[in-house]
Amino acid sequence: MAYGRKMVDWDISMLELISILNFKEVIKDWMVEKQGIVIEGDNKNVISLVKQTISLKNCNKKIQKVDILFLDVFKNVIFHFTSREGNCVAIACAQSALEGDFLWEHFLLDVLPSSIYDLIRKDCDRLAIT
């Protein structure tokens, strides 16, 4: 799945955090039935903050400022930092969101722009994934 919301903020870290928090608006029933989800980002500070917040929640400490309890519906949640060089699809999604909100629920040929498939291939080649 890929989604984007048209947003403007002077702080790119805040935009990435808001993007993660907006995930609760696009959760579908079929997702909850899966083994888990991977939330990937190229901002190491934001990924670390969200991981730390999850850890605090699991330690029964009070969560402040960041409400990520909606992720409890998933069996497993993995937060993964990736370099921008291996994150072409996310960059393209951010650029698409500049034009307006979008939701690509399934990666099917007739739904996604063909350029996204080229970027997926490019990311996989860079990361040596076959």
17-36 pLDDT, tens digit each: 888 888 888 888 888 888 88
Average pLDDT (61-89) is 74
Average pLDDT (92-102) is 79
Number of domains forming the structure of the chain: 1
- For every residue of the chain, DSSP letters joined together read -EEE-----S-HHHHHHHHHHGGGGT--HHHHTSS-EEEEES-HHHHHHHHHHHHHHHTTPPP-S---GGGGGSS-EEEEE--GGG-HHHHHHHHHHHH--EEE-S--TTTS-HHHHHHHHHHHHHTT--
Taking the model in full, what pTM does it have? 0.67
Average pLDDT (36-43) is 84
| Residue 81 scores a pLDDT above 50 | yes
Q: Name the residue range of residue 72's domain.
A: 2-126
